[in-house]
């Protein structure tokens, strides 16, 4: 028996149902969460995950007959005030914070309600606010207005606020949906910290890789029902995907043999101390090479060296047959490399600027008139061409890019890079922050670009993503490429067994 099984229950649900109109959103659901456990609640959009949270926090009342047990106390229903008083908190997707208040005021908010002037109370609560942030291992500017912070930091504010209210069971509803990979890593670190301090976390997500990385157990839902509760150890992305969808994943491999095409990128013995070593890698025209492995395997570091962000210590790179050692990103772009970074949301796009401005930002010299002014006509043509080519769903090209969904923002990032007319495209975690439904569309574009002759290096930790969409898959671990998988000859389970070994 696992030691954690002896921990007392923070939450137990039994026979919880919820009907909206004629729709049975939850059907006889049970769930148990132990104190200090990280428990994932996984399932496709619309399966009822948020509804469970809303019942536990008193936003909705369940149908009669439900059993709810919170820290050993049995109830049939619960109000929001009772839920909070018993140590339950939710980090909602929209975070429910106050954009114009300071970080300190947001964290201390629940203690600020009362007669005294707000400023006086905030000052008095400051040491407690600082203590909570220390406990989370983060530092934030307490006086900054919340709306000046990136989403990832606002999320930390929401978590800190929950801890100020002495939360012992925290629900996080799709917390990584709009985070970049590095922001996600930081959030997972905070979740581990909370768990180590005895706070139970119910982590709601449909991202398979992070479910497996963060949780001890995962409860899988489908269509309002519980499919089962599984220990994460021994679980694979493939199995989890099957449980969530109810379908056996078609091994829809699209790999083709491109070994006869000329190499676009040819890397030999490339090393950079502490990052990666002895990398041999060839990507041919029209070929999609997948690069997978655990987080921290050195994949992004390798990409950074290829685009001139860092300098390797040893080895050679040839691009289109010629020796290539980019001194800067600008030099790499000029030579024909495009890089869609995993940090799309913070680095790839300038959120408040228009779709059009974001698209042409890397080709401004091409749309200048002889007098050096920007040609609005040329700009509109480039933008409209790429928006049509990539089927980006937009209102108007002058709308702010922040108004688009994750999937459409990702297409704008692609448009921006494709406008540079690259010969090698490096895609680093291209579906992070992109809805499940929109992912297939991104990969159709990737395949079409390859068919047009572009060489593509596809970096992803979702094993199915590389096996289904690449022609060859390389496995990187500890900074080295240790083996290669043929997508036609390797199942997801086999590849995962090697990666998570």
Ligand X SMILES: Nc1ncnc2c1ncn2[C@@H]1O[C@H](COP(=O)(O)OP(=O)(O)O)[C@@H](O)[C@H]1O
Q: Applying CB under 6 A, which residues contact ligand X?
A: 20, 23, 25, 43, 45-51
Helix (H, G, I), strand (E, B) or coil at 380: helix
Question: Please, what is the minimum distance in Å from the beta carbon of residue 174 to Mg ion?
Answer: 6
- Report the C-alpha gap between 321 and 265 in whole angstroms: 8
Contact 414, 372 (CB under 8 A): no
What strands, in cross-sheet order, belong to the sheet with 23-34?
23-34, 9-20, 67-70, 73-75
Helix (H, G, I), strand (E, B) or coil at 211: helix
- Considering the complex, state which of residue 67 and residue 174 has its C-beta at the smaller distance from ligand X: 174
Q: Which of these ranges, 23-31, 47-55, 224-232, 431-439, lies near Mg ion under the rule CB under 5 A?
A: 47-55
Given ligand X, Mg ion, none, residue 300, with its beta carbon under 5 to 8 Å by kind, binds none
Residue 368 per-residue DSSP state: B
Helix (H, G, I), strand (E, B) or coil at 322: strand
Given ligand X, Mg ion, none, residue 51, with its beta carbon under 5 to 8 Å by kind, binds ligand X
Given Mg ion, ligand X, none, residue 46, with its beta carbon under 5 to 8 Å by kind, binds ligand X
Given Mg ion, ligand X, none, residue 292, with its beta carbon under 5 to 8 Å by kind, binds none
**Which residue is closest to Mg ion by CB?**
50
- Considering the complex, state which of residue 50 and residue 464 has its C-beta at the smaller distance from Mg ion: 50
Contact 356, 350 (CB under 8 A): no
- Report the C-alpha gap between 210 and 432 in whole angstroms: 11
Question: Please, what is the minimum distance in Å from the beta carbon of residue 25 to ligand X?
Answer: 3
If you search the block for the tokens 């090209």, which residue do you land on?
397
| Residue 394 neighbours by CB distance under 10 Å | 18
- Considering the complex, state which of residue 51 and residue 181 has its C-beta at the smaller distance from ligand X: 51
If you search the block for the tokens 């779709």, which residue do you land on?
355
Question: Please, what is the minimum distance in Å from the beta carbon of residue 21 to ligand X?
Answer: 6
- Considering the complex, state which of residue 201 and residue 307 has its C-beta at the smaller distance from Mg ion: 201
Given ligand X, Mg ion, none, residue 448, with its beta carbon under 5 to 8 Å by kind, binds none
Given Mg ion, ligand X, none, residue 431, with its beta carbon under 5 to 8 Å by kind, binds none
Those residues whose C-beta lies under 8 Å from the C-beta of residue 21, and which sit 6 or more positions away, are none
Given ligand X, Mg ion, none, residue 247, with its beta carbon under 5 to 8 Å by kind, binds none
Question: Please, what is the minimum distance in Å from the beta carbon of residue 45 to ligand X?
Answer: 4
Q: What are the φ and ψ backbone dihedral angles of 334, each rounded to 5 degrees?
A: -60, -35
Question: Please, what is the minimum distance in Å from the beta carbon of residue 81 to ligand X?
Answer: 21
Q: Is residue 50 part of the contact set for Mg ion (CB under 5 A)?
A: yes
Contact 451, 444 (CB under 8 A): no
Q: Is residue 292 part of the contact set for Mg ion (CB under 5 A)?
A: no
- Report the C-alpha gap between 171 and 92 in whole angstroms: 8
Question: Is residue 178 exposed (0-12), middle (13-18) or buried (19+ Cβ within 10 Å)?
Answer: middle
- Considering the complex, state which of residue 109 and residue 171 has its C-beta at the smaller distance from ligand X: 171
Q: Which of these ranges, 45-53, 125-133, 361-369, 449-457, lies near Mg ion under the rule CB under 5 A?
A: 45-53
- Considering the complex, state which of residue 25 and residue 152 has its C-beta at the smaller distance from Mg ion: 25
Q: What are the φ and ψ backbone dihedral angles of 29, each rounded to 5 degrees?
A: -85, 140
- Considering the complex, state which of residue 42 and residue 463 has its C-beta at the smaller distance from ligand X: 42
- Considering the complex, state which of residue 26 and residue 142 has its C-beta at the smaller distance from Mg ion: 26
Question: Please, what is the minimum distance in Å from the beta carbon of residue 405 to Mg ion?
Answer: 15
- Report the C-alpha gap between 218 and 215 in whole angstroms: 7
- Report the C-alpha gap between 416 and 255 in whole angstroms: 27
Helix (H, G, I), strand (E, B) or coil at 180: coil
Q: Is residue 176 part of the contact set for Mg ion (CB under 5 A)?
A: no
- Considering the complex, state which of residue 46 and residue 231 has its C-beta at the smaller distance from ligand X: 46
Q: Residues in the site for Mg ion, rule: CB under 5 A?
A: 50
């Amino acid at each position: 028996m696992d030691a954690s099984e002896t921990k007392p229950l923070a939450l137990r649900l039994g026979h919880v149902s919820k009907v909206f109109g004629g729709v049975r959103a939850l059907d006889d659901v049970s769930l148990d969460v132990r104190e200090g456990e990280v428990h994932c609640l996984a399932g496709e959009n619309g399966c009822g995950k948020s509804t469970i949270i809303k019942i536990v926090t008193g936003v909705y009342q369940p149908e009669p007959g439900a059993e709810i047990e919170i820290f050993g106390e049995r109830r049939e229903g619960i109000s929001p005030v009772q839920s909070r008083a018993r140590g339950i908190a939710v980090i909602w997707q929209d975070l429910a914070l106050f954009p114009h208040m300071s970080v300190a005021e947001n964290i201390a908010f629940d203690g600020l309600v009362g007669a005294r002037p707000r400023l006086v109370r905030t000052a008095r609560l400051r040491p407690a606010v600082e203590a909570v942030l220390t406990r989370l291992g983060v530092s934030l500017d307490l006086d900054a207005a919340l709306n000046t912070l990136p989403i990832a930091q606002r999320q930390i504010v929401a978590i800190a606020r929950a801890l100020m209210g002495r939360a012992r069971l925290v629900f996080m509803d799709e917390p990584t949906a709009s985070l970049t990979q590095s922001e996600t890593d930081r959030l997972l670190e905070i979740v581990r910290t909370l768990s180590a301090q005895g706070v139970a976390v119910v982590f709601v997500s449909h991202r398979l890789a992070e479910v497996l990385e963060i949780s001890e157990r995962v409860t899988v839902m489908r269509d309002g029902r519980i499919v089962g509760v599984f220990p994460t150890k021994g679980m694979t992305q493939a199995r989890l995907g099957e449980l969530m969808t109810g379908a056996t994943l078609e091994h829809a491999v699209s790999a083709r043999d491109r070994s006869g095409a000329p190499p676009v990128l040819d890397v030999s013995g490339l090393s950079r101390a502490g990052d990666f070593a002895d990398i041999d890698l060839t990507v041919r025209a029209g070929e999609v090479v997948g690069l997978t492995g655990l987080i921290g395997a050195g994949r992004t570091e390798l990409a950074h060296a290829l685009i001139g962000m860092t300098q390797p210590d040893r080895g050679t790179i040839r691009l289109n047959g010629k020796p290539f050692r980019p001194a800067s990103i600008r030099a790499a772009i000029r030579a024909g490399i495009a890089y869609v970074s995993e940090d799309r949301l913070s680095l790839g796009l300038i959120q408040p600027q228009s779709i059009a401005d974001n698209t042409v930002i890397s080709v401004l010299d091409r749309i200048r008139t002889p007098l050096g002014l920007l040609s609005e006509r040329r700009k509109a043509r480039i933008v409209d061409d790429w928006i049509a080519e990539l089927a980006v769903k937009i209102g108007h090209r002058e709308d702010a890019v922040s108004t688009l969904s994750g999937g459409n923002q990702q297409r704008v990032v692609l448009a921006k890079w494709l406008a540079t007319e690259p010969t090698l495209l490096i895609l680093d975690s291209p579906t992070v922050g992109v809805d499940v439904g929109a992912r297939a569309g991104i990969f159709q574009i990737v395949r079409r670009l390859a068919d047009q002759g572009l060489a593509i290096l596809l970096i992803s930790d979702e094993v199915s993503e590389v096996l289904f969409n690449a022609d060859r898959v390389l496995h990187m671990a500890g900074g080295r490429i240790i083996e290669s998988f043929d997508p036609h000859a390797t199942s997801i389970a086999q590849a995962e067994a090697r990666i998570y070994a």
